[in-house]
Amino acid sequence: MHVRLMRLTQVLFLALAVLLAPAVAGAEEVTLTFWSWRTEDVDAYNQFIAAFEAEHPGIRVRFVPYRNTEYNTILATALQAGSGPDIIHLRAYGGMEPLAQAGYLMPLDDKVEALKDFNPDHLAGATNRADGRIYGVPFALQTVQVLYNVRIFEELGLKEPQTWSELLEVAEALKRAGYIPFANGAKEGWTLETFFGAVGPTFYGGSQYYEEVVAGEATFEDPRFKRAVEKMLELRPYLPDNYMGVGYTDMQVLFAQELAGMMLAGSYELGTFAQMNPDLKIGVFPIPGERAEDPAYISVYVDGSYGINANTKHPEAALAFIRFLASREYGQMFTNTLKQISAVPGTQPEDPVLAEIVELMERQGTPYLMLTAFRYGQPSGSTLLQNELQGVFAGLLSVDQAAANIQEGVASWYEPFQ
């Protein structure tokens, strides 16, 4: 009887072990949520995640993108409620700081060894100025310059201009041939900030003016700043008809369908245009100065970073994923797949146009003015610049009025101006 009882107990124990095994195994697997505004990059991120999961079989990552215009509000609401994703796609500079200061983000500078090798200028986009700590792994660098249609230039015998007057001659030749010289419009203010990011630095003096205005030694009423806006206005005759009603998507279509010969645009457009028109051959050049020997600049900025929710229930798994996102393996995968410049040190673009942009960035790059230095308060420099430029392009404001309004708005919160 005693033996039979022991055998029955053993059978029951084994049966219970079999029943509990899947539950235990399941408990060992962790699922991380990764929120982003990059709706256009879903397939790419799922590819990146698959590579990570292959190396970390106990961790699953679910990529959840939201509309760009809604992302900030959705994320802030979730974090304020004590929830939100494990992995957060963070905006750069002033877009990241409020989350860090509210305690929603996990500091990474003492947890991700690879950050020590990142360019300090790039890390600034993920650094909270209040405590000097790094809260994200920068994911991409963007530049702003002229993109042009190589086929159209060859068809018309045009060359990359070396002076401002040559640029206007190229624009005039495109117009005579029935092409729109520049695809740019002014319906959305942020596209005018991009326009300024392409034209402005060459005429306000690049990093020298940038450093002076950041230090409060120069203002936005400086003749150099106003001259940069005036040079933008010289391109108005070469924009699409009714350019005040031309939005961002319209701009992309005009260039991708080869109706426009040039576009003042970010390097991030290369991947988009490759999808819209795989046969499109694109060249790049910086806006030239009045003379060939004048320095020509392109604006550079960190596009954002990857961070961790301070309240994540899976900190070790989240750190494993973030460390993967800081690796050269990931950086190379990112730049090759999305045709964007990875912020990870040591990555080299395979795409020849992107490689040329990287060379320009290293030789002639200067910080993207308002984003990198004046988005930390309200009204932000970007908001002011965008609104005032729309007024100027619509003929409602003079350049002097716009510059004075920008200066007054930024000075209301920017200490060096006070």
- Count of domains for the chain: 2
Structural domain including 404 reads 142-300+364-417
Whether residue 77 is found in the same domain as residue 55 = yes
Considering the domain boundaries, does residue 15 fall inside one?
no
pLDDT of residue 28: 74
pLDDT of residue 326: 98
Share of the chain above pLDDT 70, in %: 94
Mean pLDDT of 391-412: 98
Question: Which of 21-25, 166-170, 190-194, 351-355 comes out lowest in average pLDDT?
Answer: 21-25
Q: Looking at the predicted structure, is the pLDDT value of residue 2 above 70? A: no
Which CATH number covers residue 93? Answer: 3.40.190.10
Considering the domain boundaries, does residue 61 fall inside one?
yes
Considering the domain boundaries, does residue 19 fall inside one?
no
Whether residue 314 is found in the same domain as residue 398 = no
How far, CA to CA in Å, does 183 sit from each of 6, 165, 248, 295? 84, 19, 9, 25
Q: Looking at the predicted structure, is the pLDDT value of residue 237 above 50? A: yes
Token readout for 35 is 């929120």
Considering the domain boundaries, does residue 270 fall inside one?
yes
How far is Cα 291 from Cα 202, in angstroms, rounded to an integer? 11
Which of the listed residues 290, 315, 348 is the one where a domain comes to its end?
348
Whether residue 171 is found in the same domain as residue 285 = yes
Residues 6+ apart with CB under 8 A from 222: 204, 209, 213
Mean pLDDT of 395-407: 98
Whether residue 99 is found in the same domain as residue 222 = no
The model's pLDDT over 274-293, given as tens digits with 9 standing for 90+, comes to 999 999 999 999 999 999 99
Question: Which of 12-26, 182-196, 356-370, 387-401 comes out lowest in average pLDDT?
Answer: 12-26
For residue 254, give the nearest of 279, 276, 234, 235 by alpha carbon.
276
Contact yes or no for 256/119 (Cβ under 8 A): no
The single-letter code of the amino acid at 33 is: T
Q: Looking at the predicted structure, is the pLDDT value of residue 207 above 90? A: yes
Considering the domain boundaries, does residue 291 fall inside one?
yes
Whether residue 55 is found in the same domain as residue 121 = yes
The single-letter code of the amino acid at 333 is: M
Whether residue 122 is found in the same domain as residue 83 = yes
The single-letter code of the amino acid at 23 is: A
Give me the residue label for tokens 């992302």: 71
Whether residue 75 is found in the same domain as residue 207 = no
Considering the domain boundaries, does residue 22 fall inside one?
no
pLDDT of residue 3: 38
Considering the domain boundaries, does residue 36 fall inside one?
yes
Considering the domain boundaries, does residue 402 fall inside one?
yes
Can you give the pTM of this predicted structure? 0.90
Mean pLDDT of 197-206: 98
Q: Does an H or E element contain 182, and which?
A: strand 180-182
SS3 assignment, position 357: helix
Whether residue 263 is found in the same domain as residue 388 = yes
Whether residue 338 is found in the same domain as residue 256 = no
Whether residue 295 is found in the same domain as residue 392 = yes
Whether residue 290 is found in the same domain as residue 336 = no
Whether residue 246 is found in the same domain as residue 336 = no
